[in-house]
Structure 1
């Protein structure tokens, strides 16, 4: 009798520990097992609930400029869900998608029929027109940061060199401080300082790493923002302290703060200011 009561109490505790989660695939109940091994994707159900209740997941699908004519083609949910799960799993190559094809839980929570293969995912992304695809992703990225722009903020700009292995588009041997002689890509990143939220990223060839290649993306972000949402300051290192970049920012009355290289003229200017003080 005692064992029966104990089992009943354990069942009640398990029932009370279950939490209802609303997902794209319907409402499910999530239960934590304290004695089981930990999994990095254990909290994904709650993130999927957030995407579902806010409408972000459905809106992202509806606006995706991907269309198929074949009745056997995968759905948008299959394509975007495979892409999302792969990114959240930390994958860096299309071939890594194979490792999540055995997942029998999370794809269903996203309303997916299946996890598509790496080749199908690659073909689907190629089928998206580049200009429409960039506009689609940029619009959603702007929506995620727009509510935060009512308070004063600083825009940081930076360039990162990523060494490449294998044959990839834009892989060019150029400036590479860690792997000299290795082909690379250059990532031009625009960040909201403090929160470190990404306002935009442009991937360019390895030989397009200077500040002049960062400028077009920077001006695009500034010109698209309303005057009251623009950053109080644009900040960068000495690679951006060139006359061309500063002239464009001054034309837009945009304050900036850049480091300057200690060239001969800069040293003379610093000495002159020192004598004045």
Structure 2
């Protein structure tokens, strides 16, 4: 009987490890299939590396943007791009200000508008104190919001500069 109890614990552990592995593989699958990182047909390694880095950079920026829009859940690009890029924008100039007006036909346009409004408010709050922040502190605030789901309540990301001894 004791052996069965250990086996039950191992099964739960195996299930958790398998789920974690699948979550990790989903990111690579998304980069390959949704972002075009499936390979390049050229023998020029410099171009291949440059394109791979560009895809990775755009993927990272998009993932950060989507996570900032909705920190509570990960959205894959196959769902987040139509959701957040289905709007038509118009830039207007008035006095010394520029405003972008977005019009959406998406069925979740009110949810999208709420997410975008909250994101604009967040960036406005950073912009209002930006002169007091150095770039590292500004990034820490942005990353704290982006990964707030994984942090304990009140926890903040901080980065210490690397000091090399001579």
TM-score class, shorter: 0.3 to 0.5
Is the helix fraction higher in 1 or 2?
2
Q: TM-score, normalised by structure 2?
A: 0.35
Is the strand fraction higher in 1 or 2?
1
Pick the structure with greater CA Rg.
1
Q: Which protein, 1 or 2, shows the higher relative CO under an 8 Å CA cutoff with sep ≥ 6? A: 2
Q: TM-score, normalised by structure 1?
A: 0.23
